[in-house]
Amino acid sequence: MVADIHLGNVSKTFPAKAGKVEALGGIELDVARHEFVSVLGPSGCGKSTLLRIVAGLIPPSGGEVLVHGQPVDGPSSKVGIVFQSPVLLPWRTVLQNIELQVEVRKLDRAAFRDKAHKLISLVGLEGFADSYPYQLSGGMQQRVSLCRALIHDPSLLLMDEPFGALDALTREQMGLELQRVWLETKKTVLFITHSIAEAVFLSDRIVVMSARPGRIQEIVTVDIPRPRTLDAMKDPRFHQAVDRARKLMNAAGLPE
C-alpha cells in the first residue's frame, strides 16, 4: 500500500545573514494510512518546517514529498492543519470560523452546516456555536480550530504543538479528546509536540529529531492497544517508550 505521507531525503535550508541555515536534512519517513505519528525534538530542530513542507505551504530545498502518492506542489484539499495558536478570526463566531474552510474552498455551505454542528458537539462545544473567540478559553479556541481542520473531511491532519499553550490538566483532556476524535474519524495524523508523555500517549510511532540540522534520530514504536485511557500511563510499555524517547532527547543535547 502507498503511504499517506512519503518523505524521501527531504532537506530545507533557509537563507540567513551569514550564509544559510540548514533547518532539515536527510528526512526519510513514511506515514501509513490511519497512523498517528508524533514528531518530538528540541526547539528549533525544524518540526514546524517539516509540517509546513508536508502541508505544501513551503517547498523543500531538496528531496521528494508525496501525499497519497502525489507530489506536493502547494496546499491540498486533503489536508487539515491545526496551528500552535488557534488562529481564529475575531470577527467571526465559532460556527463562522469553522465554516471559513467551507467558504474558501467553495463547498456547499448548507450541506456542511450539519457537519459543523456535529463536530462542535464532538469536541464538547455545544451551545457555543454563536460565541465569539474572545468569549472562549484557550482550550475551547483550540478545539474550534480542530473542528475547522476537520470540517472539509481531509484524510490528513497536521498538528503543530496544538496544546502547547494549555495547562497540564486541560492538555490531558485535549489529548483524550483528540484520541476519541481520531478513532472516530480515522485520519492520518502528523502531530508535533514538546511533551514526551503526550507523544507516547497518543502515537503509534514517535519520530525523535536532533537539533540543527534537523535530522531523524530514531523512530520509537508505541505498542499500547486503543483506546488508551489515562491508566495507559501506568502501563510498563508506556514507561519503556517514555524512557527511550527521553534518552534520545537528552542525547540530542538540549532540554526538552
Partner 1 sequence: MRSWIYPVGTVVILVVLWDVLVNAFSIPQYLIPAPETVVRHLIANWKFLLGHTWVTTYETAGGFLLSIVGGVLLAMAIVSSRAVDQAIMPLLILSQTFPKVAVAPLLIIWFGMGVQTKIFVAFLIAFFPVVIATVAGMRAVETETMELIRSMRATRMQIFWKIRLPAALPHFFSGLKVAVAFAVVGAVVGEWVGSEKGLGYLLLWANANLDTPMMFSVLVLLMVIGMILYYAVVWLERIAIPWHISVRGEGPQATI
Ligand X SMILES: Nc1ncnc2c1ncn2[C@@H]1O[C@H](COP(=O)(O)OP(=O)(O)OP(=O)(O)O)[C@@H](O)[C@H]1O
Q: What is the contact surface with partner 1 in residues (CB under 8 A)?
A: 52, 55-57, 74-77, 79, 81, 83-85, 87, 89-91, 100-101, 103-105, 132, 134
Q: How many beta carbons lie within 10 A of that of residue 207, not counting itself? A: 24
Q: What is the 3-state secondary structure (H, E, C) of 209-255?
A: EECCCEEEEEEEECCCCCCCCHHHHHCHHHHHHHHHHHHHHHHCCCC
Q: How far apart are CA 46 and CA 62, in angstroms?
A: 15
Which residue bears the cell 526519510? 28
Specify the residue, 49 or 141, whose C-beta has the smaller distance to ligand X. Answer: 49
H-type alpha helices, the chain:
47-55, 94-104, 109-122, 138-150, 168-185, 196-202, 236-251
Interface segment toward Mg ion; rule CB under 5 A; list 41-49, 119-127, 178-186, 238-246: 41-49
The residue range among 42-50, 72-80, 88-96, 174-182 that interacts with ligand X, by the rule CB under 6 A, is: 42-50
Q: Which is nearer to ligand X, 151 or 209 (CB)?
A: 209
**Considering beta carbons, is residue 70 or 121 the nearer one to partner 1?**
70
Residues 6 or more apart whose CB falls under 8 angstroms from that of 61 comprise 11, 12, 13
Distance CA 105, CA 77 (A): 8
Exactly one of 49, 97, 101, 155 binds ligand X (CB under 6 A); which one?
Answer: 49
Tell me if 173 contacts Mg ion by CB under 5 A. no
- Residue 240 is a binding residue for Mg ion (CB under 5 A): no
Q: Does 96 bind ligand X (CB under 6 A)?
A: no
Tell me which of 5, 7, 10, 23 binds ligand X, using CB under 6 A: 23
185 binds Mg ion (CB under 5 A): no
Which one of 40-48, 135-143, 178-186, 224-232 is the stretch in contact with ligand X (CB under 6 A)? 40-48
- Crossing angle of helices 138-150 and 168-185, in 10° steps, is 20
In the complex, the residues that contact ligand X under the rule CB under 6 A are 14, 21, 23, 41, 43-49
